[in-house]
Structure 1
Amino acid sequence: MRFFHIINRFCFFATLLLYTTIFMGMYAQIVLGPLQLLIATSITFLYFKKLAKNLQNLILYYWLFAITALIIAFLGWNDYISDDLTIITVFIIPMMVAAYFVYVTYRINKFINPKEE
């Protein structure tokens, strides 16, 4: 679990750093999204039953937020939402979900490995 959290945190902050150049951040977010979905799938299948109820709820909320963000991004990308909101729906909302997932992996890591930090 520690490995998942470290990779997730590194990729999230690298994406944020790359957003200083805007377009590189957008490209990095294309990598970050599927990576986080892969990590979330792994956590769900490998650790879900071992987690306390509050941590299970955090991962379930993440899935709700991620699916909602994907639907909203799809609508924004395909012109179902006004062009003024495309940046928000395609880039900002997914990054907010990504930030939440860094928190989720942090909490799960602290539960699985309580002696670290």
Structure 2
Amino acid sequence: MSATIHRVLVRRGPNRLRDLDPPTGEHLSEVIRYEHDRVGDLVHVDLKKLGRIPQGGGWRMHGVGTEAARASKRSGPGAGKLGQTYLHSALDDHSRLAYTEALEEREGPARA
């Protein structure tokens, strides 16, 4: 697919980064990247909610309205309803060191 996109861009003209510059018309000479001076000055934090898929697949695998799909919506222990997992991610702006942890709660563990 990327080869197709490349051929279309070459045919139409804007196949270089310099051709895709903002309306100023200036060529990009270097990548503009911000970075804080010290480690820990700026930490980006993100939270991503992911639904867990039942063993054997959910409704997309078995079809809407099937017994397997209905079982995945039932609540209670061993009933098939699995809930969500939350990915907590942190990225340091200076060092680009990243950390991600999968937790069952949105708020994360209680801190003392």
TM-score, scaled to structure 1: 0.20
Greater strand share, 1 or 2?
2
Greater helix share, 1 or 2?
1
Where relative contact order (Cα < 8 A, 6+ residues apart) is larger, the structure is 1
